[in-house]
Structure 1
Amino acid sequence: MSWIKESNRPKHLLYAIPAGALLTILFVAGLAAGMEFKDKQWGGKWDWLDIAATLIGGLIGQVIQILVLILII
């Protein structure tokens, strides 16, 4: 799991948690693709590991959302 500590992947993971908690994992997938598209347009490269880090954060957020909904109901 050392790949998650490279580059700005911790930020991808952390910023995706609130998006996953407030919205859905599908929204987070769109965010991940959009961030990578932006990186590519600015001369970077498409990085699937950045997308994976974002989706992991979104999954954590989605689990938090489900747990909150279970507690409310």
Structure 2
Amino acid sequence: MKWLRESNRPRHILYGFFGALIGTLLFSIGLAIGKEYGDKAWGGKFDRLDLWATLIGGIAGQIIQLFIIWIIIKLI
């Protein structure tokens, strides 16, 4: 779990969370791949740990989104 606190990975988790909360997990995956492609295009490296951090946030956001939808359906 130490790798999650390195670099800017908490920010990756946050952006993945909001991407999946507003969109879907697939949107969050697209954000992650696009960000890593941008890093590589600017001379950096494709960091798979950043990708995984974004996906962890995306999974959490999708779960919260499904819970909110379930509550709304129960209220109707």
Q: TM-score, normalised by structure 2?
A: 0.93
Tell which structure's C-alpha radius of gyration is larger.
Answer: 2
Structure 2 partner of 1:64? 64
What's the % identity of the aligned pairs?
Answer: 53
Q: What is the number of equivalent residue pairs in this alignment?
A: 73
List 4+ stretches of structure 1 deviating above 6 A.
Answer: none
Q: TM-score, normalised by structure 1?
A: 0.97
Supply the RMSD in Å over aligned alpha carbons: 0.6
5+ residue gaps, structure 2, are none
| 1:22, distance to aligned residue in structure 2 (A) | 1.1
Structure 2 partner of 1:18? 18
Distance 1:36 1:27 in 2: 14
Superimposed CA distance per residue, residues 33-62 of structure 1 (whole angstroms, 9 cap, x where no aligned partner): 000000001111010000000000011100
5+ residue gaps, structure 1, are none
